[in-house]
């Protein structure tokens, strides 16, 4: 959670640059915003609760003086989203300021010690201990530099952090450090930046230095210096040139990032299909060797894993366990061994629950494989092999294009594994590979031909109090994902489950007009699913179906339907069938007056457990 940004500019005021960069980071949290700059030996801070635009309106975030500063956009963990808890936080002397993303787990002990030594705390945050710690280190040893003081302080912190620290006494540098929270450095012409992620500075520079876990970096206009936090040893790191075009990170004329990202899916899927074969091969070798395979993820990425478990079983005859990451250690921690393979799926590569599971499995010598959208993320560094899904930055908080890309990579992986295990004939392989290649066009057709209709459906159902999302087989994963999208952005409570479960309880909720959305590919589950539609219809439910275009039988049973081009193989069906559900959730949010890009209480990257 939270986004941090810092910059040092040669001939320019830092505040407006920080302000616009924080806007690009707002998807990481928007409970409060703040900036701190240094000018003429003084520290200036402006901060308040609320979204960036609201705060800027009343406080003007652009008029702080100085060419060096840091900023923060917050997703509250410790302390309510109030002005007093907004970052940056400063020390007792008002000379040092820190912006922080993460959680300091031992903050209560540290705070008690620091208070005993006379430090006065103003906020309820865990973050404030960091700045007092630095102040304390410097008080005890005034000869130390800010870099040395941050190094020493960081060693005392348990938990996760990505921090940017400035001091009025050293007005030419920003000292940053990271542990389990993301941090990157941007190298510009006459400028240097630090940020939680690359899109924050991408319009300013495409040259990045990735900071690894357990590292500190001091930046100034003269350059950057990376050191290991544990022993202070210097580290050399190459500059990476990022080939994301800056316009990829803006809305390109769409009213919301989410809609733009839904529309980007054909392109993303084409990019995903350009994956390097070598990595798919390597990963499928590890999957093949393992005694058991766990597919670990959270939220939407978990739904991709659920879909993948059907793909691996149907194509490669491999049983896998999809597990929600926050449950993995309790449920399977003890049974993991050197013979286990963990395929962790995480768009951000920084999700705390997923990384905690990965770390637990690493300790038991399991093989870690990663699928992520963020190269340089923690997941890429802890994986034996990782695949970058190549979806480009996803700004909308709700995952859309990254979900279909994940499914596409996982399908390719399942196919590769099937080949390795000799489980599918060459003809079948060629047939499926060809179908996979055609999916981008199919997704394009769905968006082009069905979007207007889905918008009308959202108008019709906008006041519904709840929905069921039902499917069978691999469409169960699609149903779960459709339901999550609707709940998280349109705030409509909804339930999803395998359609066969209706009669074991949930059907008792159904009464006249109760909306039930069925995902109905013409696969082996089709006949049984029609039985489930009849059960619901008999009890007065409004039946909404996602159907293949030639499925006249289901269309006749439906109050409303959305059509999918025919002939998509069952193992690939979640990719096209989820598109109408994403659009439905989007238009429901808009109809109900909510901003789909910024669902309340959520953040894009969930770096706390
Ligand atoms: C939902 C959504 C979340 C994420 C989840 C995992 O739209 O985006 O449910 O899927 O927080 O995030 P990653 O994939 O970054 O690990």
Is 61's C-beta closer than 6 angstroms to any atom of ligand 1? Answer: no
CA 408 from centroid of its chain's CA atoms: 18
Is 347's C-beta closer than 6 angstroms to any atom of ligand 1? Answer: yes
| pLDDT in the model for residue 376 | 73
Is 7's C-beta closer than 6 angstroms to any atom of ligand 1? Answer: no
| Phi/psi-derived region of residue 582, left when phi > 0, alpha when psi is between -120 and 50, beta in every other case | alpha
How far is it, in rounded angstroms, from Cα 14 to Cα 7?
A: 7
Q: What is the mean pLDDT of residues 189-198?
A: 95
Global pTM reads 0.76
Q: What are the tokens at 462?
A: 């906008």
How far is it, in rounded angstroms, from Cα 164 to Cα 84?
A: 19
355, 180 in Cβ contact below 8 A? yes
Question: Does 251 score more than 80 pLDDT?
Answer: no
Is 147's C-beta closer than 6 angstroms to any atom of ligand 1? Answer: no
- Residue predicted with more confidence, 27 or 157: 157
- β partners of residue 494: 467
How far is it, in rounded angstroms, from Cα 3 to Cα 99?
A: 9
How far is it, in rounded angstroms, from Cα 359 to Cα 336?
A: 12
Q: What percent of the chain has pLDDT over 70?
A: 98
Closest Cα to atom 3, ligand 1: which residue?
A: 299
| pLDDT in the model for residue 180 | 80
- Cα 348 to ligand 1 centroid, rounded to whole Å: 8
Question: Does 1 score more than 60 pLDDT?
Answer: no
How far is it, in rounded angstroms, from Cα 279 to Cα 369?
A: 11
How far is it, in rounded angstroms, from Cα 312 to Cα 402?
A: 20
Question: Does 159 score more than 90 pLDDT?
Answer: no
Which of the four pLDDT bands, split at 50, 70 and 90, describes residue 169?
Answer: very high
Measured between alpha carbons, how far is residue 59 from residues 19, 462, 584 in Å?
Answer: 12, 37, 38
How far is it, in rounded angstroms, from Cα 8 to Cα 14?
A: 7
Helix (H) or strand (E) holding 44: strand 42-49
Report the b/e string of 582-593 with b at 16+ CB within 10 A: bbbbbbbbbbee
Is 581's C-beta closer than 6 angstroms to any atom of ligand 1? Answer: no
| Other CB atoms within 10 A of residue 116 CB | 8
- Residue predicted with more confidence, 560 or 270: 560
Tens of pLDDT along 559-572?
999 999 999 999 99
- Cα 538 to ligand 1 centroid, rounded to whole Å: 37
| pLDDT in the model for residue 246 | 56
503, 535 in Cβ contact below 8 A? yes
Q: What are the tokens at 33?
A: 């915003």
Closest Cα to atom 5, ligand 1: which residue?
A: 299
Measured between alpha carbons, how far is residue 224 from residues 98, 219, 305, 475 in Å?
Answer: 19, 4, 39, 50
Tens of pLDDT along 77-88?
777 778 999 999
Q: What percent of the chain has pLDDT over 90?
A: 83
Measured between alpha carbons, how far is residue 520 from residues 92, 163, 430 in Å?
Answer: 63, 48, 25
Question: Does 421 score more than 80 pLDDT?
Answer: yes
- Residue predicted with more confidence, 75 or 373: 373
**What CATH topology corresponds to 3-249?**
3.60.20
- CA torsion sign, 372 to 25 to 595 to 563? negative
Angle between helices 128-140 and 107-116 (to 10 degrees): 40
| pLDDT in the model for residue 385 | 94
- Cα 91 to ligand 1 centroid, rounded to whole Å: 35
| Other CB atoms within 10 A of residue 505 CB | 9
357, 328 in Cβ contact below 8 A? yes
Closest Cα to atom 4, ligand 1: which residue?
A: 299
Is 606's C-beta closer than 6 angstroms to any atom of ligand 1? Answer: yes
Question: Does 277 score more than 90 pLDDT?
Answer: no
Is 162's C-beta closer than 6 angstroms to any atom of ligand 1? Answer: no
| pLDDT in the model for residue 524 | 95
Q: What is the DSSP letter of 377?
A: S
Tens of pLDDT along 437-452?
999 999 999 999 999 9
Q: What is the DSSP letter of 212?
A: P
| pLDDT in the model for residue 512 | 96
- Cα 603 to ligand 1 centroid, rounded to whole Å: 9
Sorted by sequence, the CB contacts under 8 Å of residue 570 that are 6+ apart come out as 314, 473, 474, 521, 523, 524
Q: What are the tokens at 342?
A: 């963990």
Is 300's C-beta closer than 6 angstroms to any atom of ligand 1? Answer: yes
Question: Does 340 score more than 90 pLDDT?
Answer: yes
217, 194 in Cβ contact below 8 A? yes
Q: What are the tokens at 518?
A: 């069925």
Q: What are the tokens at 131?
A: 């700045």
| pLDDT in the model for residue 226 | 98
Is 400's C-beta closer than 6 angstroms to any atom of ligand 1? Answer: no
Residue 351 three-state SS: coil
Question: Does 312 score more than 70 pLDDT?
Answer: yes
The mean of the pLDDT values for the chain is 94
Helix (H) or strand (E) holding 13: none
Domain-wise residue ranges, the chain: 3-249, 266-591
| Other CB atoms within 10 A of residue 57 CB | 11
| pLDDT in the model for residue 105 | 85
Q: What is the DSSP letter of 510?
A: -
Give, for ligand 1, the residue of 181, 256, 301, 397 to mutate: max count of ligand atoms closer than 8 Å to Cβ: 301
266, 444 in Cβ contact below 8 A? yes
- Residue positions annotated with a catalytic role: 2, 604
Residue 440 three-state SS: helix
CATH code assigned to 266-591: 3.40.50.10490
Which of the four pLDDT bands, split at 50, 70 and 90, describes residue 359?
Answer: very high
Give, for ligand 1, the residue of 347, 355, 410, 599 to mutate: max count of ligand atoms closer than 8 Å to Cβ: 347
Tens of pLDDT along 452-461?
999 999 999 9
- Cα 607 to ligand 1 centroid, rounded to whole Å: 11
Which of the four pLDDT bands, split at 50, 70 and 90, describes residue 390?
Answer: confident
Closest Cα to atom 10, ligand 1: which residue?
A: 300
Measured between alpha carbons, how far is residue 301 from residues 312, 334, 463 in Å?
Answer: 16, 24, 29
Question: Does 254 score more than 90 pLDDT?
Answer: no
What is the per-residue DSSP string for 171-205?
TT-EEEEEEBS--EEEEETTEEEEESSGGGTTTT-
- Cα 258 to ligand 1 centroid, rounded to whole Å: 14
- Cα 293 to ligand 1 centroid, rounded to whole Å: 21
């Amino acid at each position: 959670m939270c986004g941090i940004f810092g910059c040092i500019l040669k001939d320019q005021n830092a505040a407006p640059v920080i302000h616009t960069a924080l806007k690009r980071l707002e998807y990481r949290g928007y409970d409060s915003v703040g900036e701190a700059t240094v000018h003429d030996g003084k520290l200036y801070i402006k901060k308040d609760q609320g979204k960036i635009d609201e705060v800027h309106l009343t406080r003007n975030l652009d008029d702080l003086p100085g060419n060096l500063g840091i900023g923060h956009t917050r997703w509250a963990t410790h302390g309510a989203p109030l002005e007093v808890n907004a970052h940056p936080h400063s020390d007792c002397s008002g000379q040092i300021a820190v912006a922080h993303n993460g959680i300091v787990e031992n903050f209560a002990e540290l705070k008690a010690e620091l208070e005993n030594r006379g430090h006065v705390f103003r906020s309820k945050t865990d973050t404030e201990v960091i700045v007092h710690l630095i102040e304390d280190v410097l008080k005890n040893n005034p000869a130390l530099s800010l870099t040395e003081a941050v190094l020493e302080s960081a060693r005392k912190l348990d938990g996760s952090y990505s921090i940017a620290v400035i001091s009025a006494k050293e007005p030419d540098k920003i000292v940053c450090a990271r542990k389990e929270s993301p941090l990157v450095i941007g190298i510009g012409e006459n400028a240097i930046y630090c940020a939680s992620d690359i899109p924050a500075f991408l319009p300013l520079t495409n040259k990045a230095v990735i900071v690894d876990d357990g590292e500190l970096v001091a930046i100034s206009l003269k350059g950057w210096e990376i050191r290991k936090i544990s022993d202070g040893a210097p580290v050399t790191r190459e500059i990476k040139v990022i080939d994301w075009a800056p316009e990829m990170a803006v809305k390109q004329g769409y009213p919301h990032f989410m809609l733009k990202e839904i529309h980007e899916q054909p392109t993303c899927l084409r990019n995903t299909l350009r994956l390097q074969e070598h990595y798919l091969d390597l990963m499928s070798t590890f999957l093949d060797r393992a005694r058991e395979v766990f597919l670990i993820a959270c939220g939407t990425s978990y739904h991709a894993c659920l879909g993948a478990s059907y793909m691996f079983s149907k194509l490669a005859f491999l049983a896998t366990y999809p597990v929600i990451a926050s449950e993995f250690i309790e449920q399977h921690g003890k049974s993991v061994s050197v013979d286990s393979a963990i395929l962790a799926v995480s768009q951000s590569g920084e999700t705390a629950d997923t990384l905690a599971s990965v770390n637990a499995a690493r300790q038991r010598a399991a093989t870690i494989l990663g699928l992520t959208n963020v190269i340089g993320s923690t997941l890429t560094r802890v994986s034996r092999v990782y695949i970058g899904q190549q979806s480009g930055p996803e700004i909308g908080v709700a995952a859309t294009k990254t979900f279909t890309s994940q499914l596409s990579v996982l399908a390719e992986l399942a196919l590769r594994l099937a080949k390795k295990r000799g489980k599918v004939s060459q003809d079948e392989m060629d047939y499926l590979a060809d179908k996979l290649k055609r999916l981008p066009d199919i997704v394009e057709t769905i968006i082009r031909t069905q979007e207007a209709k889905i918008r009308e459906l959202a108008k019709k159902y906008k006041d519904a109090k709840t929905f069921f999302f039902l499917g069978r087989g691999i469409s169960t994963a699609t149903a779960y994902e459709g339901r999550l999208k609707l709940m998280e952005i349109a705030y409509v409570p909804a339930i999803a489950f395998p359609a066969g479960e209706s009669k074991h309880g949930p059907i008792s909720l159904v009464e006249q007009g109760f909306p039930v959305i069925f995902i109905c590919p013409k696969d082996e589950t089709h006949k049984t699913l029609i039985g489930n539609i009849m059960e619901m219809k008999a009890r007065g439910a409004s039946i909404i179906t996602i159907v293949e275009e030639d499925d006249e039988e289901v269309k006749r049973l439906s109050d409303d339907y959305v059509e999918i081009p025919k002939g998509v193989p069952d193992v690939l069906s979640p990719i096209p069938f989820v598109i109408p559900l994403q659009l439905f959730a989007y238009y429901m949010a808009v109809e109900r007056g909510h901003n789909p890009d910024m669902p309340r209480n959520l953040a894009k990257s969930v770096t706390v457990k």
